[in-house]
Structure 1
């Protein structure tokens, strides 16, 4: 009885190895074939910090690639790129733990260690601390302090904060 099950197990394993080998062989054959004329290549990058995506459509001619294999060398999986091939379209995509170009140029104010900090990214997105200012968060008016503690103080830098604090001081005094 044991011998019967061991033979069955060997046959199942052989089938799995054969099917897997066939699939890998097919993948290599498809990857080495020239991309059909009129194929569009969609290159997409998802930015996880700001939740934006950068998407551009191009052609094999623009990228100077002839096959899917060439494209995979241009966009290697070691750098997080994934590719899929469909009807006259190839999608190359990756997800990056970073901000998009537009959001990385923007800053807002938040809180770090009891002080107001300049944070990279739009309000509500923590792209990393650029610098910590000399202003203590508990010295801010209640509304501004709450926004700073939540990372939602939508001011580009400490100069804007100084202007607001000066205007608040003038209006109260």
Structure 2
């Protein structure tokens, strides 16, 4: 059985952009919400706002080239929850408009992307499965971990939307 690159990317990213929006809503309700935007897991890691912005832009950095389209510039890292919400919503809206047919031949395309200071050049399937999906989930997980580390009451269900566990009081 082969999996179409559209099916392995667009619906997955749409689902988890929804979860990212949920994380933002929960972060905004926290007593110290304003300080969360600059919060980090370690001094040399990206801030929460940067992790969210990267996670929001990654689906377009992946799916647009797979669909044979150019990737627009991200712009600066948003400095407010409102702009982060907009960034996530805009990414989801753009993904939802991508026709499945644009992914025809994606398995034959070689995709180039920046990975920090490195240039990654991979065939479509390797780009998606070995580079893009792991990187997207890295930044989503980092955003989740920052919130947990700073006392936001989150559970696994807030990350994936599937699990349900009883909340345990600290």
Quickly name the TM-score band, shorter chain normalised: under 0.3
Structure having the higher Rg: 1
**TM-score calculated relative to the size of structure 2:** 0.22
Higher strand share goes to which structure? 1
TM-score calculated relative to the size of structure 1? 0.22
Greater relative contact order, per chain length (Cα 8 Å cut-off, separation 6+): 2
